[in-house]
Structure 1
Amino acid sequence: MPIACFTDLLAEARRQPEPQRLLFVFARAELPDHPDAEQRERFEQGEGGVLAPVLCVDKTLDELSDMQSLVEESRRTEVEWDIVFAAALAGDGREPPSSDEAEQPLQRMVESLQQGTIDNFLAFDRRGDAVSFH
């Protein structure tokens, strides 16, 4: 099933035979170090830039009802973000992985995003619509 929105992600995760823990890395669009005039102009038009991870969290499906609840929780941190990247971590058959078990995969996810490797993750805007990058 293609995932077009955050609701699709939750539905697909619930269909999996193993209980899932969802991993989220929130990123903010920023100008790269030492931008040239073209990069600066594109960024000011809402295009280009780099995505810098600014916040991460993991959630079981029981802890997450919809995109609005995730946005509201992130708002309480007062950390601004533009895109949230998502991945899933499967459990052992009865229970989803613990938050401790998710720590290392979440850190690897942050490191991948810092290196610009985003192909392994789903991305969503604040409305919960899937975002693709060209």
Structure 2
Amino acid sequence: MAISRFADLLEEAKQQPEPQRLLFVFTRAELPDNPTVEQRQRFEQGEGGVLTPALCVDKSPEELSDMEALVAESRNTGIEWDIVFVAALSGSGQQPPSGEEAERHLQRMVESLKMGNIGSFLALDRQGEVVSFQ
């Protein structure tokens, strides 16, 4: 199944034979350090910039209903974000991944994102639509 929006992700995660944890790293677009004039202009037009991790959370698919609920929950943190990166973590047998295991994987995601390695994660905007980067 091709995942093109958040609802597809939830459906796919719920159909997996092993219990899943969805790992979310919420990022915000910022200007890079020492931006050029061109970078600043593009950023002011809503393009470019760097995505900086701002918030992490892990959830089971059953804890999520839709993107609107996830956005509302994130709003309660007071932390602004633009793009959320998502990965799935499978349990073993009937056991879901532990909280410690999810935390380790979230930290690896954050480090990967800081280094610009985004290819192995699903990126979604605030409307729950898949975002692709050029």
Q: Which residue type is aligned with residue 12 of structure 2?
A: E
The 2-side partners of 1:66 and 1:98 are apart by 23
Query: How far apart in 1 are the matches of 2:65 and 2:98?
Result: 18
Report what 1:116 is aligned to: 116
Over 2 Å off, 4+ runs: none
Provide the secondary structure at the position in 1 that maps to 2:52: strand
The answer for unaligned runs of 5 or more in structure 2 is none
Question: What SS does the corresponding residue of 1:88 show, helix, strand or coil?
Answer: strand
Query: Normalised by the size of structure 2, how large is the TM-score?
Result: 0.98
Task: Tell me, in whole angstroms, the C-alpha distance in 1 between the residues paired with 2:101 and 2:111.
Answer: 17
Distance 1:72 1:25 in 2: 16
Number of equivalent positions = 134
Confirm whether residue 130 of structure 1 aligns to residue 122 of structure 2.
no
Given the alignment of the two structures, is residue 105 of structure 1 paired with residue 84 of structure 2, yes or no?
no
Matched with 1:69 is 69
Distance in structure 1 (CA, Å) of the matches to 2:73 and 2:51: 21
Query: In structure 2, what is the equivalent of residue 51 of structure 1?
Result: 51
Q: What is the Cα-based RMSD across aligned positions, in Å? A: 0.7
TM-score (norm 1): 0.98
The one-character-per-residue Cα deviations of 1:27-55 (angstroms, maximum 9, x if unpaired) are 00000000000000000000000000000
Task: State the distance in 2 between where 1:68 and 1:94 align.
Answer: 29
Identity of aligned residues (%): 69
Q: Which moved more, 1:119-128 or 1:95-104?
A: 95-104
Once the 2 structures are TM-superposed, how far is the Cα of residue 64 of structure 1 from its aligned partner? Answer: 1.1
Question: Counterpart in 2 of 1:25?
Answer: 25
Partners of 1:35 and 1:132 in 2: CA distance: 23
Where does structure 1 lack aligned partners over 5 or more consecutive residues?
Answer: none
